[in-house]
Amino acid sequence: MSIKALLKAHGTPLREVYFDLENSPFVPREVVEAMLPYFNKYGYGNPAITHKPGWEAYDELLQAKEFIARTIGASPEEITFTHSGTEANNLAILGTALKFRKDKRKILISAIEHLSVTFAAEHASKLLGHEVLIVPVDEEGFIDSEVFEAYMSKDVFLVSIQAVNHEIGTIQNIKELVKIARDYNPDIIFHMDAAEAYGRIKFNVKDLGVDLVTLSSSKIHGPKGVGVLFIRSGIDIEPIIKGQISVERFWPGSENIPAIMGFRKAVELAFNNFESNVSKMRELRDKLMKGALEEIPYVLVNGPRGDKRAPDNVNLSFLYIEGEALTIELSLRGVYVSSASACTSRILEPSHILLAIGRKYEEAHGSILFKISRYHSEEDISYTLENLSEAVERLRRISPLKGDEHE
């Protein structure tokens, strides 16, 4: 049976609730409307070209940089637009590694970094001969400061650690890790992937002491196709792609002005009423997590709880069933979630992050990720809990993993 036929056979669900924001967040109407003028009169100019349309585009680009810079305590000239968070992470890792290509030194990352950091570091190792050190994490995804310090040495020139983990929501103590790193090497470059923190947790780049920071438009309901790399003034990295002269010194090519304007609007929406937005996400997160644990047996929480967890993140492992099967079952009921990681679910590999925190393969395979947003409601959570409970019960009844423990 085709997917279309399967959906038709099950009929239209009573409600649709979209939680798969890790894979592909939706773009709200206000953001789309903010982009529209920049597809024609106000945005068709290339900001690197000296004529009126170019000047207009350049002015809009600078205003966007100024606006985004203010939200993280940076200067506009420290903001570089890329075409995604993945590209920003690659620029941070490979751009720094190329600067140190004459020295065979060390790059330090954690065991739960986004694959765009992990793979970029591995590529720097193969291409340039740098050694990659991977710091383990505990059962909630935290880096122990003493363990981190044990991995540090004067040979480490680059550290890259996420502010918030994209799968299990762990909020790292970046400020403490920066201090430890700088005690060993005052000139060390510290990169923070903040794609999952931006718009959910306020931070100031100067207060943290970080040198490079990744932001992503799509992670805060902006359009795909634009990201940011903050590059602290005085930090010199190398461009990793070559092309025509543009406004962006580190990322050549024509800037995507409509997408950048959409990103700017998404930032405005995220930071307006910031505290109430975050409070709402946290309340809905806790209701979903508490309800699932109380109503469904044999459920594991992946990652920390409470204030140490990102306000939008719920990651649960449902034992004795496959996450992919549960994803399909929920989809037929109008609840859209992701199984394991957005980066690995298509190839049915267990999440490297869940394995890193000590989950067994079968526990990792049974994981489901829900991402909460300020656009969700109490009714969405109630509908989800009702259908989640029914879906898990049905799948366990037909599971080959029969036994008294889940009958």
Query: What integer pLDDT is reported at residue 364 of this predicted model?
Result: 93
Q: Is residue 260 located within the same domain as residue 311?
A: no
Structure token digits, residue 6: 């399967």
The candidate with the shortest Cα–Cα distance to 21, out of 278, 338, 287, is: 338
Query: What integer pLDDT is reported at residue 370 of this predicted model?
Result: 98
Quick one: which H or E segment has residue 276?
A: helix 274-295
The DSSP secondary-structure symbol of 379 reads H
Q: Is residue 177 located within the same domain as residue 326?
A: no
Beta strands in 280-362 (DSSP E): 299-301, 313-318, 335-336, 338-339
Q: Are 222 and 265 a contacting pair, CB within 8 Å?
A: yes
Give the list of residues 6+ apart from residue 345 with CB closer than 8 angstroms, or none: 324, 338, 339
Q: Is residue 247 located within the same domain as residue 336?
A: no
For the chain, what is the domain count?
2
Q: Is residue 253 located within the same domain as residue 305?
A: no
Q: How many CB atoms lie within 10 A of CB 63?
A: 13
The candidate with the shortest Cα–Cα distance to 362, out of 398, 328, 320, is: 320
Q: Is residue 239 located within the same domain as residue 182?
A: yes
Write out the residue range of the structural domain in which residue 381 sits: 3-21+274-406
Structure token digits, residue 189: 């470059």
Q: Which of 271, 290, 316 is the last residue of a domain?
A: 271
Q: Is residue 266 located within the same domain as residue 278?
A: no
CATH code (residue 330) = 3.90.1150.10
Per the listing, tokens 């505990």 go with: 138
Digit-by-digit pLDDT tens for the chain (407 residues) are 555 555 555 667 789 999 999 988 899 999 999 999 988 766 667 766 677 677 677 888 999 999 999 999 999 999 999 999 999 999 999 999 999 887 779 999 999 999 999 999 999 999 999 999 999 999 999 999 999 999 999 999 999 999 999 999 999 999 999 999 999 999 999 999 999 999 999 999 999 999 999 999 999 999 999 999 999 999 999 999 888 767 788 888 888 899 999 999 999 999 999 999 999 999 999 999 999 999 999 999 999 999 999 999 999 999 999 999 999 999 999 999 998 644 444 556 789 999 999 999 999 999 999 999 999 999 999 999 999 999 999 999 988 765 545 44
Cα separation, 377 vs 382, in Å, equals 9
Q: Are 118 and 150 a contacting pair, CB within 8 Å?
A: no
CATH code (residue 259) = 3.40.640.10
Q: Which of 271, 290, 310 is the last residue of a domain?
A: 271
Cα separation, 200 vs 276, in Å, equals 11
| Parallel/antiparallel/unpaired status of strands 131-135 and 156-162 | unpaired
The candidate with the shortest Cα–Cα distance to 250, out of 81, 89, 67, 100, is: 81
Q: Is residue 254 located within the same domain as residue 328?
A: no
Q: Which of 210, 239, 271 is the last residue of a domain?
A: 271
Residue 150 backbone dihedrals phi, psi, to 5 degrees:
-65, -25
Q: Is residue 244 located within the same domain as residue 372?
A: no
In sign, the C-alpha dihedral spanning 267, 273, 275, 280 is negative
Q: Are 82 and 224 a contacting pair, CB within 8 Å?
A: no
pTM beyond 0.85, yes or no = yes
Structure token digits, residue 299: 């459920």
Q: Is residue 122 located within the same domain as residue 159?
A: yes
Q: Is residue 196 located within the same domain as residue 283?
A: no
Give the list of residues 6+ apart from residue 285 with CB closer than 8 angstroms, or none: 309, 311, 312, 313, 314, 372
User: In 3-state terms, what secondary structure has residue 319?
Assistant: coil
- Order of strands, sheet of 156-162, starting from the edge strand that comes earlier in the sequence: 79-82, 227-231, 212-216, 189-193, 156-162, 106-110, 131-135
Query: What integer pLDDT is reported at residue 406 of this predicted model?
Result: 47
Structure token digits, residue 17: 């609730």
Q: Is residue 12 located within the same domain as residue 98?
A: no
164, 343, 357, 391: the active-site residue:
343
Active site (annotated) includes residue 310: no
Query: What integer pLDDT is reported at residue 248 of this predicted model?
Result: 80
Q: Is residue 261 located within the same domain as residue 292?
A: no
Residue 224 backbone dihedrals phi, psi, to 5 degrees:
-70, 160
Per the listing, tokens 């037929």 go with: 332
| Parallel/antiparallel/unpaired status of strands 79-82 and 338-339 | unpaired
